[in-house]
């Protein structure tokens, strides 16, 4: 039975970050937190969450040793994407308040924790943020986003072949998805399912006539064609800055924001690509509050969801400018079992022995709320 099984407080406070699951760990890159300085250039921070020990650690800064080496390490940014191919995480796009948007491809070796910039060729996508990135085989697909140079939304599809490190602009046939940013694109089989995002009613340029797409658009990577899709009901509300993931051949979306409705979401919807139908899902346990710009990664049968931003409690559920950034983490478990109970019992015992403050609450012994700092230094024991 689907259940929110774990709630932790005290992790990195991050919004509009990017994260990738590698084995039993989740690597989180960059993002922002209100009040931090994003005009001074500094290298991107990397936080790692261990899903076995339920602990965060922050990797130490990279020693660059010169200007050329410093260029190998991405600067702090938000609105970027990260994907995993083999043992390399590819980070692309995003922006910084000083440098603007970026189109340099950075690579992070998960074994050595070293950054490098691969030598690439081909038609390199223009610098942007709010795009999506997904992987099929040895290829990374970039879709949409807000292009800095053109100052408009994009609906182009770019493909990076990581065996040759060549970028190509796909000449897609069919009726394309609308120009947009802060949408989601999820690979199921050989098709890319695009949902949500912010677009403009009149075209690619932002005229403050925003619309929020709520219909699925499907791109077939085998034929390079946008497919015709039927209209179905019910449909989730249109939104941007939500999370999306696939599980057992179905697409799930969580959270997001709609400015027209002045509303943040914490609903969970499931899309079946065979029936082409949506269904609202109600997991057991206490889930996250309404939010947007969080990260969501799948580890086995569990979804690790953390960070994001929400309206301040005293401001209600809307208000674009009175937001609070989150340092919490939730686990959505598709197959909850007694392992979680045992794990929490061990952590609780360790906390009691150490004398650290703690608050662990159970919901029929299958949902846990842990409130304490779980951020440790890189030198800490990492089981």
> Which of the four CATH numbers 1.25.40.80, 2.120.10.80, 3.30.230.10, 3.90.1300.10 does domain 3-344 have?
2.120.10.80
List C-alpha distances in Å: 374 to 62, 233, 244, 370.
Answer: 23, 42, 26, 9
**Residue 357 to residue 260: CA distance in whole angstroms:** 42
% of the chain at pLDDT higher than 90: 77
**Residue 351: pLDDT band by 50, 70, 90 thresholds?**
low
Instruction: Give the tens place of pLDDT for each residue, 251-286.
Output: 999 999 999 999 999 999 999 999 999 999 999 999
**Residue 302 to residue 90: CA distance in whole angstroms:** 23
Report for 71-75, 148-152, 337-341: range of highest mean pLDDT: 148-152
List C-alpha distances in Å: 356 to 147, 349, 359, 373, 374.
Answer: 48, 11, 10, 10, 11
List C-alpha distances in Å: 231 to 271, 277, 278.
Answer: 13, 9, 11
| Residue 77 pLDDT > 90 | yes
CB 220 within 8 A of CB 213: no
Query: Helix count (H) and strand count (E) of the chain?
Result: 2, 36
**Residue 359 to residue 124: CA distance in whole angstroms:** 50
**pTM summary value:** 0.88
Instruction: Give the tens place of pLDDT for each residue, 179-210.
Output: 999 999 999 999 999 999 999 999 999 998 99
Give me 315's structure tokens: 């401001």
- Pick from 330, 253, 264: which is nearest to 291 by CA? 264
Annotated domain spans of the chain: 3-344, 345-372
pLDDT of residue 357: 46
| Residue 112 pLDDT > 90 | yes
**Residue 7 to residue 331: CA distance in whole angstroms:** 7
Element (H, E) at 325: strand 323-325
**Residue 327: pLDDT band by 50, 70, 90 thresholds?**
very high
| Residue 166 pLDDT > 50 | yes
CB 116 within 8 A of CB 138: no
pLDDT of residue 321: 60
CB 307 within 8 A of CB 294: yes
DSSP 315: G
Burial of 64 (0-12, 13-18, 19+ CB in 10 A): middle
């Amino acid at each position: 039975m689907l259940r929110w099984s774990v709630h932790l407080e005290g992790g990195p406070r991050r919004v509009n970050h990017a994260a990738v699951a590698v084995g039993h760990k989740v690597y989180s890159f960059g993002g922002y937190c209100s009040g931090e300085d994003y005009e001074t250039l500094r290298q991107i921070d990397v936080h790692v969450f261990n899903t076995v020990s339920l602990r965060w650690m922050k990797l130490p800064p990279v020693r660059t040793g010169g200007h050329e080496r410093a260029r190998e390490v991405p600067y702090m940014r938000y609105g970027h994407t990260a994907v995993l191919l083999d043992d390399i995480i590819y980070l692309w796009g995003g922006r910084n308040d000083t440098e603007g948007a970026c189109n340099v491809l950075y690579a992070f070796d998960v074994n050595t924790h070293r950054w490098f910039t691969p030598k690439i060729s081909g038609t390199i996508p223009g610098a942007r943020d709010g795009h999506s990135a997904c992987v099929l085989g040895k290829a990374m697909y970039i879709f949409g986003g807000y292009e800095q140079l053109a100052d408009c939304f994009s609906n182009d599809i770019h493909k990076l072949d990581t065996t040759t490190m060549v970028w190509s602009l796909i000449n897609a046939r069919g009726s394309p998805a609308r120009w947009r940013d802060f949408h989601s694109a999820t690979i199921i089989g050989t098709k890319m399912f695009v949902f949500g995002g912010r677009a403009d009613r009149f075209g690619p340029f932002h005229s403050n006539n925003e619309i929020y797409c709520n219909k699925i658009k499907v791109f077939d990577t085998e034929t390079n064609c946008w497919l015709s899709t039927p209209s179905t009901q019910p449909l989730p509300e249109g939104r941007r800055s939500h999370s999306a993931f696939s599980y057992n051949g179905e697409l799930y979306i969580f959270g997001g924001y709609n400015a027209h409705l002045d509303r943040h979401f914490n609903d969970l919807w499931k899309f079946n690509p065979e029936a082409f139908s949506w269904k609202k899902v109600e997991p057991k346990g206490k889930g996250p509050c309404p939010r947007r710009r969080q990260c969501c990664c799948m580890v086995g049968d569990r979804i690790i969801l953390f960070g994001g931003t929400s309206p301040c409690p005293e401001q209600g559920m809307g208000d674009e400018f009175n937001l609070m950034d989150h340092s919490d983490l939730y686990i959505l478990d598709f197959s909850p079992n007694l392992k979680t109970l045992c794990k929490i019992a061990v952590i609780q015992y360790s906390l009691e022995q150490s004398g650290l403050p703690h608050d662990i609450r159970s919901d029929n012994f299958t949902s846990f709320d842990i409130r304490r700092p779980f951020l440790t230094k890189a030198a800490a024991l990492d089981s």
